[in-house]
Amino acid sequence: MNKKEALSIIIKGAEEYHKNLENKNLLIIYEKDDVVDFIETNFYPRNFLHLTGIEIINKKIHSSVEFYNLCLKKRISINDFSFKKDGTSILKLQSLIQVFQIYKNAKIIGQYNNQRPYLRTNILVGNINYCMGFIKKQEL
């Protein structure tokens, strides 16, 4: 994947994130070993950059929210971001659009088995084509 392809995915992804997830609360209810459990999460504008997996290199973009807003306005360029050296950017971008439709296409949930070095999570939600990681925090 080159940066031009990535830019197209990021801009479309911003539109999908805005339409489907931005400022929404998602409740995922599941059963494991005859026990009903759940994950509740919120999707904020500041989360979009992390979900793309890219890094901002333009010093004029000061925050993840500013980056997201520029993406929504289609005012981002290939000179504004770079891929992470660990290879995770391309992996995230390849499934970005599907991830932003998690509310309707997630079919599988499970514990993360720590097999990949760059993933910090403990629960994975998705389907056979993608997954999103969540860290389940205990209620206060």
**What are the pLDDT digits (tens) for 39-86?**
888 999 999 999 999 999 999 999 999 999 999 999 999 999 999 998
Q: What is the DSSP string of 25-43?
A: EEEEEEEETTEEEEEEEEE
Domain-embedded: residue 38? yes
Domain-embedded: residue 113? no
Q: What is the pLDDT of residue 132?
A: 79
Does the pLDDT of residue 140 top 50, yes or no? no
Does the pLDDT of residue 122 top 90, yes or no? no
Domain-embedded: residue 42? yes
Distance CA 17, CA 27 (A): 17
Domain-embedded: residue 117? no
First-to-final CA distance of the chain: 43
Q: What is the pLDDT of residues 3-28, one digit of tens each?
A: 999 999 999 999 999 999 999 999 98
Burial track 18-50 (b if 16+ CB lie within 10 A, e otherwise): bebbbeeebebeeeeeeeeeebebebebebbbe
- Domain of residue 83 covers 3-105
Domain-embedded: residue 61? yes
% of the chain with per-residue pLDDT over 90: 54
Q: Is 125 helix (H, G, I), strand (E, B) or coil?
A: strand
Distance CA 4, CA 127 (A): 27
Q: How many domains, the chain?
A: 1
Does the pLDDT of residue 118 top 70, yes or no? no
Q: What is the mean pLDDT of the chain?
A: 88
